[in-house]
Structure 1
Amino acid sequence: MYISRLIMRTCLYLRYFFHKITRTGTFGPNRAEFISTPHKEGENQVKNFLFRHHVKQFHGSSCSVASVVGVINAILQKERPLNLTPITQQGILDKVKAAHWKERMGDNGYHGQRGLPLAVLAQVVKASLDAYAINYKSVETVQAERPGRLSRSIRETLVSRLEQFENQGNCLIIAHFDQGSFVQDLNIPHISPVGGFDLDTGKVTILDVDQSQPLPYKVGFDTFYRGISTDYNHIFKPFGFGRGGYIFISL
């Protein structure tokens, strides 16, 4: 296990330093735009509450926990504003048993599996909504296709849903993406909630749960789609990671 992790880290850092030296990837012009001003609350309560309950992951593989607990707390505050004690990351791991979530967050993972591939994330999201008796219409898993003819309808639907989130506040989106496609970091599978969509510029706000990213940031839609449609490095295949995408929660 130690040797395989060492090989993985070596491959990832080689790619990272290649981009840094050649000024490509996120070291080029298409880097994230960090948001330094505090979120100004508006009429969209779901969006407001997502920012309020945005937390950072407690270790390198727990981005799913921070993402889901933030989403669950945002929905709970909207549904039960007078009776809300925010749930904690440890609390949700103790309560939600789906997909051996808690075990996957341990040092050795569950049978060596750490973190959550897209399909497993969907299981955990649905189980979390049910565990806290949250009313919702549906939970949909969308695996993004690479840019091209097959991706056209996926992209159009995603834009529509981003607009729905921004305008109506009756849905949420949790992105499963290649972190190195957005920020100057390793090209690894990562999970974070979407926190906004600029209707004029088409930029997507990411409430990144990584502790190394102290501020939310915006990326253009094309960059966002590339990040979620990434076919993760082959070194992640044995751990169940294929391609990114998103979870769409309709309230």
Structure 2
Amino acid sequence: MKILFYLMRSVLYLRFFFHKLTATGSFGRSRARREPLAPTGQSNPVKAGLYRHYVKQFHESSCSVASVACVVNTLLENQGRLPQKPVTQQDLLNRVTAAHWKERMGPDGYQGRRGLPLPVLGQVVKASLDEFQIDYQDIQVVQATRDPSNAADFCQTLKFRLAQFDRFGDGIIIAHFDQGSLVTDLNIPHISPVGGFDPDTGDVTILDVDSSQPYPYTVSFNRFYRAVSTHYLHLFHLFGYGRGGYIYIKK
């Protein structure tokens, strides 16, 4: 397993330096733009809550924990039930047992697997909301596609949900995406909540929980779509990772 890990890291770094040397990928012209930590003139309580409860992951594989903590505290606050001390990442791991989440965050993972593929993230999100008795209408696990016959419908639905979130806060999106497609980092599966959407420009704001990203950032919708629809490196398939997508929580 360790040999496979080092092989994977070597391939990822070769790809990273190739993009850097050729000024392609996230090193190209269309780069992510940093955003302030708090949006100005914000009347959407859900969107404002996501910024307020935005936290960084505590190690390189715990992006799911930071993302879910942000969403859980936002929804608890929105429903008037936020405790005096917000739910911490450790609280989540201690209370939510679905998918061996806590074990997956350990140094050896669960059966050698760390992090959460998209379907497993869906299980953990539902279990977290149920554990803290958070009301919601629906939770959907949406795997992205690049199939031309389905991509247009996927993008149309995603844009509509992003616009509804930004305007009304009636749904929250947690993205599962190729991080190196958006920022100058390795092309690895990553998880973070969406923090905003501009329907006029199509720009999407990511509340990236990676500690290497000190601020949220904004990318074009097309670039966001490419990131969530990436087919992860084939070596990731051995650990349950296929293609990206998103979790949609309908309030």
TM-score tier by shorter-chain length is: over 0.9
**Aligned residue for 1:242?**
242
Corresponding residue for residue 226 of structure 2: 226
CA deviation string 1:173-209 (max 9, x = no partner): 0000000000000000000000000121110000000
SS class of match (1:194): strand
In the other structure, the counterpart of 2:60 is 60
The share of aligned pairs that are identical, in percent, is 58
Give the drift of 1:38. Answer: 3.6
Give the corresponding residue for 1:177: 177
Q: Which amino acid aligns with 1:10?
A: S
After TM superposition, the structure 1 = structure 2 runs for residues 181-200 of structure 1, keeping only pairs within 5 Å, are 181-200=181-200
Aligned position for 1:33: 33
Q: In structure 2, do the counterparts of structure 1 residues 193 and 4 end up closer, same or farther at CA, with 3 Å as the change threshold?
A: same
Output the TM-score relative to the length of structure 2: 0.97
The offset of 1:49, in angstroms, is 0.5
When structure 1 is superposed on structure 2, of 160-169 and 78-87 the one drifting more is 78-87
Aligned to 1:165: 165
Supply the distance in 1 between the matched residues of 2:135 and 2:81 (Cα, whole angstroms). 15
Unaligned runs of 5+ in 2: none
Tell whether 2:215 aligns with 1:215. Answer: yes
Check the 8 A contact 2:38/2:52 in 1, yes or no: no
**1:190–1:138 CA distance, 2 compared to 1 (3 A):** same
In structure 2, distance between residues paired with 1:197 and 1:59: 28
Q: Does structure 2 conserve the Cα–Cα contact (< 8 Å) formed by 1:202 and 1:220?
A: yes
Give the aligned length.
Answer: 251
The CA RMSD over aligned residues, in Å, is: 1.2
Structure 1 gap segments, 5+ residues each: none
* Alpha-carbon distance between aligned partners in 1 of 2:133 and 2:54, rounded to the nearest angstrom: 21
* Paired amino acid for 1:8: M
**Could you state the TM-score of these two structures normalised by the residue count of structure 1?**
0.97
Deviation at 1:149, TM superposition (A): 2.5
Q: Distance in 1 between matches of 2:175 and 2:24?
A: 23
Task: Tell me, yes or no, if the aligned pair for 1:41 and 1:48 is still in contact at 8 Å.
Answer: no
Q: Which moved more, 1:70-79 or 1:30-39?
A: 30-39
Q: Deviations over 1:13-68 (max 9, x none)?
A: 00000000000001111221111464225210000000000000000000000000
